[in-house]
Structure 1
Amino acid sequence: MHRYLVVSDTHGRDDNFYKVLDIEGKLDGIIHCGDFEGSEGKFAIAADCPVYFVAGNNDFFSTLGRELSFSLDGHKAFLTHGHQYLVSMDLENLRSEGIARGAELIFYGHTHKPVAKTMGGVYIFNPGSLAYPRQEGRRPSYLILTIENDDIKYEIKYL
C-alpha cells in the first residue's frame, strides 16, 4: 500500500504544508498542483519522498513545467494546475485531455475548492487550497490518495 499527499495553491503561505507533513507522517509521494509562489524548492527538500510538482498561473518565475504525466503504482497520472483547461467553468476539457494522455488519475488545482470524484472512467482530484480555501466553511484542505494494486482510495481532509 502506498500513500500520496496531494496539495495545491499554497501561495507562499507554507505553515499549513508543514503541519500536514507532521500530521500524515510517512508518505510515498507528494503531488502539488501549482501556485507555490516560490516554495517548491523548500517543499521538495522537506518531502523526504518523490515529488510531482507543476507550476501554476501565479508561479511566474518557476522553472517547473505546466503539465506532468507520470505513473503511480502502475496507474497513469496527469497533473496540471488547470487554469488553461478552464476548470473554473467545468471539468470536461481537463477530463478529455487526461483521457487523451491515457491517464486514469487527473490532478488539478486553481479553483481552491476540493473535488474528488470519478468522471467518465477517470478519477479527478483537486485538493483545494492549504492557504486560501474558497469552499463553504473555508477550511484549508488536502487529499490523501492510497493505492494498493488496483484499489484506489481517496479522502479529502481539512485542517
Structure 2
Amino acid sequence: MIAGNKHRSVWPLVRHGKVVQVSTLPLRTTSGVLPWCIYFLPNAPMKSSSPFTSPAYDLLPADIVATIPKLGETAENPDPTFYLKWFTPDSGFTWYVAEYDPDSGICHGFVIGHFPEWGSFSIHEIRQVRGALNLPVERDLYFNACPSSTITRDY
C-alpha cells in the first residue's frame, strides 16, 4: 500500500500493466476524510461512454411487444395484465403498459405521477421525456408481466 506524502502531489504508477494514479488530495466521505485515493485509468482510449446504449433504453423490445394486446382488446377485462414498466430515474413518474398499438405508437395503461391514473400515452412522447437530471425514461429490466391489481391496489 502506498501512503500519501506531505506535499499533496500526484504520482503516476504502473502495476500489472495498468496505469494507477495515487493522489494525496483529501477525499471527503460520510465517514470522514481519506488522506488519499487511487484511480485506475485504462491503457487504451475509452469507447463511447453514452449511457443510452443499455437494454433499459429499449422501451419496446420485440419479444415483449408481440405479447401485448392491441388497444381496446382488454376493455372488458377488470384486471388486465401489465407487460412493461417504464420509469424516470430522476423523477417520480412510472408507466405500466397494458395495451399497445404499434401503428400509432399509443399505449394504454396505468401512470403514477403527480397522482395515479389510467390513461393513454404516446411512446413517441415518452421517448422525449427527461427528468430533473435530463435522464431519459428507462424500462425496468426486472419487471415481469403481472395482473394490474398487484400494482393498482396500492393506489
Identify whether the pair has TM-score above 0.5, normalized to the shorter chain.
no
* Higher RCO structure (Cα 8 Å, ≥6 apart): 1
Q: TM-score range by the shorter chain?
A: under 0.3
- Using structure 1 for the length normalisation, give the TM-score: 0.26
- Using structure 2 for the length normalisation, give the TM-score: 0.27
Point out the structure with max Rg over C-alpha: 2
